[in-house]
Structure 1
Amino acid sequence: MGQALKDTQYYCYGDYLTWPDDSRYELIDGQAYAMSPAPDLAHQDIAGEIYLQARLALKNKPCRAFIAPVDVRLPKHNEADQQIDTVVQPDVLVVCDSSKLDRRGVRGAPDWIVEVLSPGTASHDQIRKRLLYERSGVKEYWLVHPTDRLLTVYRLNGAEYGKPELSELTGASQVGVLPDIIIHWDELSSRLPDPDAY
C-alpha cells in the first residue's frame, strides 16, 4: 500500500467506483495509491483484535466499529460523492455520527482510526495519512507498530494533532475520545511473532 500509480491523472470517487473489484486503491487528493496484497497474519491479528474489543465495548451504544475494507470518503467541502477525491480504507475505525453512514460506507471523518503498520506502508500511514486525517478532523489516530510493539497516538487539539503519545503494546490503552473502548494488549502481544523473525 502507499505506492502511487505511475500516471499523474486526477481521479475522483466516480472513477474509483468503475475500477475492478480485485484491484484495491486509496485516493488521496485525486492521486491513486495501490494497496498491497493481503497483509501478513500479524497485521490481521492485530486489526481483528482491536476491532473485536472495540465492537464489544460499543455494544448497545450509538457508535459503531468497522474493519477494512470499508470506503471512507473524505470530502473537502460539500461536493457530490462522485466528485470526492479522497477515499481511504483504514484498518479499524469507529463512527459515532450515524448520518455519516450509508450503503457505500462512510462519508466524513470517523471519530477514531487505527492503522496497523507494515514495512511497505509505514511512511504512507505515518506521514501522508496522518496529515490527511488531521486535515479531515479525525479526532484520534492510532498507529500500531507490530515489529517494534509500539503504539503511537495522535489526538486532535483544535485543528491540529498534538504531540504524539508513545507506549508499548502492554497492559491496556484507553481511546481518549471514546473512553468506553480500552484495548488490552497482553494476550494479543503474546501471539505476535518474535520481532527478530520479521
Structure 2
Amino acid sequence: MSIPDENKNYSYADYLTGDEGERFELIDGEKFPMSPAPSRRHQQVLRELSTAFTIFLRGEECEVFFAPFDVRLLGENKQDNEIMNVVQPDLSIVCDRDNLDDKGCNGAPDMIIEILSPASIKMDRWKKFQLYEKAGVEEYWLVEPVYESVEIYLLINGDYKFQGVYTKGDSLSVNCFTGLEIDLDRIFE
C-alpha cells in the first residue's frame, strides 16, 4: 500500500485511479486506509442485518447495499475531481433512487450501519459520525459484535441525537422504516 501524502487533498478522481488493490476511504480529502478483511463475526452480523433489511424492503423503493459499495457524500452536482468524501459503510440503505448510479451512491443514504472492529472504532465513532451527520444521513447505527450491542443515532434538526443502546434480548424499531422490528437475538445468534 502506498503511503498517502499528508499535504495532498485527494478527490474521488484520485480514488478511482488509485493503486490496484489499495483500499481507502476519503474524508474531507484526507486518505484513510481501510483495514484488512473483517472478522468472521463481523461478517455474520452483517449478513443477518442485511437479510433482515432486504426481506423487509423487498418490493419497496429502498435498496440495501453492503460493503464494498462506494458512497460519495457532499458531492451532489460535482465533478469527480471535486468530490472529497467517499466511504464504504458496512450497510447503506438508499430510498432516493436519484442518488444511485453505476458507481454507487452519490448523496446521503437514508440509513447507515457501521459494524465496529478494533481498527475502525475511532473512525466510525468520530470521523464518519461527523461526516454522516453533516451529509444528512437520517439514521446511524453503530453495532458492536463482541458485546452484542447496537447504538442508535437519529438526525434531528441537523444534529445526531443519541436514542439508546440495545443488546441481545432486545427488539428494536427502525425509525426510517415504520413496521420494521429487528430482533437482536437473531442478529447476534
What TM-score results when the alignment is normalised by the length of structure 2? 0.93
8 Å CA contact 1:101, 1:107 repeated in 2: yes
Distance in 2 separating the partners of 1:48 and 1:181:
17
Distance in 2 separating the partners of 1:95 and 1:88:
14
Partner of 1:72: 71
3-state SS of paired residue (1:32): strand
3-state SS of paired residue (1:170): coil
Give 1:173 shift. 1.8
Give 1:86 shift. 0.2
8 Å CA contact 1:13, 1:87 repeated in 2: yes
Change (3 A) 1:165 1:5: farther
8 Å CA contact 1:72, 1:108 repeated in 2: yes
The percent identity for this pair of structures is 38
8 Å CA contact 2:76, 2:106 repeated in 1: no
8 Å CA contact 2:167, 2:184 repeated in 1: no
Aligned positions of 1:7-156 closer than 5 A: 7-75=6-74, 78-156=77-155
Give 1:8 shift. 2.8
Give 1:78 shift. 3.3
What TM-score results when the alignment is normalised by the length of structure 1? 0.89
Give 1:49 shift. 1.0
8 Å CA contact 2:48, 2:186 repeated in 1: no
Distance in 1 separating the partners of 2:133 and 2:5:
26
- In the alignment, structure 1 segments of 5+ residues that lack a partner are 191-198
3-state SS of paired residue (2:26): strand
Bigger mean CA deviation after superposition, 167-176 or 86-95: 167-176
Partner of 1:194: none
Distance in 2 separating the partners of 1:56 and 1:10:
40
The count of residues paired between Structure 1 and Structure 2 equals 187
Bigger mean CA deviation after superposition, 141-150 or 10-19: 141-150
- In the alignment, structure 2 segments of 5+ residues that lack a partner are none
Partner of 1:185: 184
Distance in 2 separating the partners of 1:166 and 1:103:
35
Distance in 2 separating the partners of 1:77 and 1:58:
25
Give the letter aligned to residue 70 of structure 1: F
User: What is the CA RMSD across the aligned residues, in angstroms?
Assistant: 1.6
8 Å CA contact 1:170, 1:189 repeated in 2: no
8 Å CA contact 1:150, 1:167 repeated in 2: yes
Give 1:5 shift. 4.1
Give the letter aligned to residue 31 of structure 2: A
Change (3 A) 1:66 1:120: same
8 Å CA contact 2:75, 2:82 repeated in 1: no
Partner of 2:172: 173
Distance in 2 separating the partners of 1:90 and 1:115:
6
